[in-house]
A = this chain, B = another copy of it.
Amino acid sequence: MILSFAEMTTQASETPNKDIPEEINGLRMTRQRQEVYRFLMGERIHPTANEVFMGIKKALPNVSLATVYNCLEALVQHKIIRQVNFDREPSRYCPNLDEHGHFHDETTGTIHDVKFKPGINLTDLLDLPPNTVIKDIEITLRGQLA
């Protein structure tokens, strides 16, 4: 495959991604951010930064791992995606913005989104100190899909 000059340059002027808007939540969607976001939306496998890096290389051969980290951080900070951590493992990234938890299947290593049953408000079930303002809840499950 022969790359056009535009495809070989390093920055956002490269061939645009038609199906992803130029801006989301006030964040300018550069070509790199678009590819990172597209990859997350496509394979919803909660990939690590490095898996994203490898996954977008075909579309963006000159992208750097630092840029992937920058893009992921920007997307997280603008609440376009979420960062998910399991113990001390590499961070993973999730484009599902609905309130949900994460089930880590130990046999396959895969991660599955877990919804709450309808009508459940989690903070109601917790014995929280009075005057507590909760900004974020994270639920992580570990086990096996027998």
Contacts and interface: CB of A to CB of B under 8 A. Distances in A.
Number of copies: 2
Given A85-B87, A127-B114, A137 B139 contact: yes
Interface string A119-130: 010101111110
A23 interface: no
Contact of A88 (B85, B128, B140, B145): B85
- Chain A, interface residues (CB within 8 Å), range: 35 or more
A136 interface: yes
B125 A136 contact: no
Residue from A91, A106, A138 whose CB has the most chain B CB atoms within 10 Å: A138
Contact of A91 (B88, B115, B116, B136): B88
